[in-house]
Each structure stands twice: as C-alpha cells, then as structure tokens.
Amino acid sequence: MALEMLILEDSNQYIHHDQLFKQLLHTFFSEFLEAFFPEVHRYIDFTSMKPLSEEMFTDLIESESRRADIIIETKLKDQETLIIIHVEPQSYGQPNFHERMYHYFSLLYNKYRKPILPIAIFSYDQKRIEQYQFIVSFPFFHVLTFQFLKLELKRMNWRSFIHTNNPVAAALLSKMGYTVKEKVQVKKEFLRMLVKMELNSAKAELINGFFETYLTLNRSEEEELMEEIKQLDKHESEQIIKLPNSWREKGIAEGIQKGRAEGIQKGIAEGIQKGIAEGIQKGRAEGIQKGIAEGIQKEKRHMALEMLREGLSGELIEKVTKLSRDEIEVLRGTL
C-alpha cells in the first residue's frame, strides 16, 4: 500500500535524476558507502543486503507523487537485527527538505518498524550548506531532533577521490566542486580511473554514461583533452582511447560524415572524369557517323550537279539522289 505525504517537486527533473542515481547506487551500493561514509561501511554486512520495493509518497493537494529513491534492507556485522538504509538524492535546493526527510523516515518506520539510517545526496550546482536536522521543540519542552547523514557533492574536492579507484567516486566527480577551467582535467582523471578499475563493459558504460550526463566538453575542450591523453603513458593512453565515451563516438560519427562527404566528392570527380572520357568516345563515334552522313550528302549534291549539267530533269535528279526539290534548285542556281 502506498505511503502518503504532502510534497511538491518537478516530476520531469526528478525522474531523470532519480533514475541515474538509482541505477548507479543499486549497482555500486557498497562502493558508495566506502567512498563517502567509510564509518558506516565498516559496520554493514553486505552479504545480507536486499533492495526493498520503492515507496510512493503522494502529494494529496497537487495530485503529484514521487518515490523514496533507494531503500536497502541489511544487517550490521555480527548482529541479527535488520536495519534499513534510505538514500535520497536531491537535485535542486528545497527549503523544507530536512522536514521532508523526517516525513520519509516516519512513514518508512511506520511500515517496517526497523531502525532506519537516512542519507541525503545533494547534487545541485550551487555550493550551500544544507540543514541535516529537523527539530520539534517548545520553550518548555524539547520533543525531538531528527538527523540524517548528508553528502554535499558541490562542496567536495574532486582531487581527493582520483586515486581511490572507486566507481561511484569516479562517476560523482562530474558533480563535485570543480571550476570551468578544470573540466578537462576532471574528465582526464575520470578516464584514468575508469581504465585502472578494469570494469566489465556494462558497468564501464554505466559509469561513463552517468559522468557524461553531468560533465560535457565542447569541441575545443575535447581537443585539449586529446592532447592531454597523448602525453600519458602509451599503454594508458591506448586503453583510454578504447573506452566508450562521447568524444570518441563523436569522432567516429564525424569520421563517417567526412568519409561520406569525401566519397561523394570523389564520386563526383570520378563521374566527371568518366563522363568526359565517355563523352569523347561518344563524340568520336558520333563524329564518324556524322562525317559519313555528311560525305554521303556531299556525294549526292555532286551527283545532282553533274546531272544538272547534263540537262536532266529535276524530277529525275530528285528520284535518283533523294535530295529535295529545294536543294536541287539551290544547286541549279550555282551553275
């Protein structure tokens, strides 16, 4: 049965962001905790990990809904008690997000009645300090303080993760705190990480697809990146070139396009050359044919002149030479 709560969110933006993070974290959940919450990672028994069904939270006023993104059931090491880890990626700033996390916590706890560890991932492009507590208190009594773990990606130094060989850290470099001038360097280090991790093709494409969704290079930046890659060790640069990536695919597409254009150009040139040769050949044949015809016609006129000199009738000359009466009269005028 769906859990219900009041919530407003841009559904289109959420769905795209949600799907990317959900696929990434479900595939590399252990690596996610290891990279960003190592203290949690040390205590979790990943052999008993089980994803739970997504919970729907419905906005009763706006008739909109969204899901609690990632809900994992597992155990702590050397303990039998089941716990739930709820991870909520947030792609844009929302003033009451800390309150929303408390609602999620309450509703999930109401359903599962198990200890819940809530984690929020803030992935928007602005640097800001997010609240991680929701407090209910009176001047005369403190009711509760709800807290959740948070990961503010834009406040993270991307250089701190390039030697981890962690696939989630590699993917999330694209959302960390780099400057515009550092984009090429971030992409280069990401590719180097991808080579060192030696993931299978499906996982490599997942990591690469996530990264390139959030960090894209223009043409001049791609050219700069290629120059940077050429400066690396030969073996490493060759491995990077083999990776699935947008600039390689774009290069292939441009190569195909250029090949087609050159093929068309070559075809036109060859066609012209062939046309000229065929034209000459045809011209020669037609010239010979025309020459023969003109020779026959000249011979007929010569014969007609001789017959006119002999005083033969125009009717007879027309019949013998097949010349027209007008042509014969023109010839008569030349005598």
Those residues with Cβ within 8 angstroms of residue 76's Cβ, 6 or more apart along the chain or in another chain: 43, 44, 45, 83
**pTM for the predicted model, two decimal places:** 0.68
pLDDT tens digits, one per residue of 131-168 = 999 999 999 999 999 999 999 999 999 999 999 999 99
* Token duo for residue 257: 């396009």
Q: How far is CA 194 from CA 7, 211, 279, in A?
A: 38, 11, 59
121 in Cβ contact with 21 (< 8 Å): yes
Q: How far is CA 176 from CA 34, 126, 153, in A?
A: 17, 10, 5
Those residues with Cβ within 8 angstroms of residue 43's Cβ, 6 or more apart along the chain or in another chain: 76, 77
What pLDDT does 9 receive? 44
Domain boundaries, the chain: 1-155, 171-244, 252-333
Tell me the sheet residues that pair with 118.
86
What pLDDT does 110 receive? 92
pLDDT tens digits, one per residue of 10-39 = 455 555 777 889 999 999 999 999 999 999
Average pLDDT value over all residues in the chain? 83
DSSP 153: G
Residue 111 and residue 105: Cα distance in Å, rounded? 10
Q: 42-75 b/e with 16+ CB inside 10 Å = b?
A: eebeeeeeeebeebebbeeeeebbbbbbbbbebb
Give the chain's residues under pLDDT 50: 1-10, 59-63
Largest CA distance in the chain: 147
* Token duo for residue 223: 């050219």
- 327 C-beta neighbours (distance < 10 Å), count: 17
Residues in the chain: 335
Residue 87 and residue 44: Cα distance in Å, rounded? 15
Q: Which of 202, 200, 173, 177 is nearest to 188 (CA)?
A: 173
Measured CA angle at 41 (ends 131, 75), to 5 deg: 100
- 26 C-beta neighbours (distance < 10 Å), count: 14
Sign of CA dihedral 168, 171, 175, 176: positive
Residue 6 and residue 61: Cα distance in Å, rounded? 7
| Residue 169: φ, ψ to 5° | -60, -40
Residue 21 and residue 87: Cα distance in Å, rounded? 10
What pLDDT does 212 receive? 92
* Token duo for residue 202: 């499906």
DSSP per residue over 168-204, as a string? HHHHHGGGSS--GGGHHHHHHHHHHHHHHHT--HHHH
Those residues with Cβ within 8 angstroms of residue 181's Cβ, 6 or more apart along the chain or in another chain: none
* Token duo for residue 244: 């699935």
